[in-house]
Amino acid sequence: MDILSNPVLQTLKERRSVRQYSSRQITDEELHAVLEAGTFAPTSMGRQDPWIVAVQNPDQVAQLVRLNARVLGTDSNPYYGAPTLVLVFASDSPDRPNASLDAALVLGNMMNAAHAIGLGSCWIHREKEIFSSREGRELMRQWGLPEGLMGVGALALGYPAAGLVPAKPRKANYYRIVK
């Protein structure tokens, strides 16, 4: 077998950020597959520090859209109309210096898993600001999250409403091999 035709490597090369979603909700089976992939991301010392919250409740999705748009300074939907939002949190403690990096790996695993099963995703920022606010902290309490966490990022998740954009050419000399 040609090593470059490996399906995992193909998924990594083909995944793109999706910025237009169908309003149709994803299935529970699809959601669980994406979330489980996140739980298998490597974490510092195997601590499994990140926390994942998937939001499909339309009222809470609308609230998150409003909060993110406020931070962004716009009235558009920063989650591009995705019907599912997946939020990732990590410890805000100085004794967990790699917590946000671990959470980034969780987000990456979930984006690749989403693409592998035919879903679209896009990493969304501003969760740190959202969940530093009073309203954001209240949502965290409603979701049963422990104190001392910070928002790291989110995924817009759903069925793509349009075809994927081809990858941009990779820059020259992107990597080096030193032997």
DSSP 22: -
Read off the pLDDT of residues 132-143 as tens digits, 9 standing for 90 and up. Answer: 999 999 999 999
Residue 171 domain flag: no
Nearest CA to 156 out of 109, 107, 116 is that of 107
Q: pLDDT averaged over the chain?
A: 96
| 108: containing domain | 18-158
Residue 6 domain flag: no
Q: What is the CATH number of the domain that holds 154?
A: 3.40.109.10
- How deeply is 151 buried, as exposed, middle or buried, from its count of CB atoms within 10 A (0-12, 13-18, 19+)? buried
Nearest CA to 71 out of 142, 25, 126, 132 is that of 126
* Rounded Cα–Cα distance for residues 61 and 76 (Å): 14
- Indicate whether 1 pLDDT > 80: no
- Indicate whether 40 pLDDT > 90: yes
Position 129, amino acid: E
Read off the pLDDT of residues 15-34 as tens digits, 9 standing for 90 and up. Answer: 999 999 999 999 999 999 99
Residue 11 domain flag: no
Bigger pLDDT: 46 vs 28: 28
Bigger pLDDT: 165 vs 36: 36
Residue 5 domain flag: no
- Over range 42-71, report the average pLDDT: 96
- How deeply is 72 buried, as exposed, middle or buried, from its count of CB atoms within 10 A (0-12, 13-18, 19+)? middle
| pLDDT the model gives residue 50 | 97
| pLDDT the model gives residue 113 | 98
Number of domains in the chain: 1
Residue 172 domain flag: no
- Over range 36-51, report the average pLDDT: 95
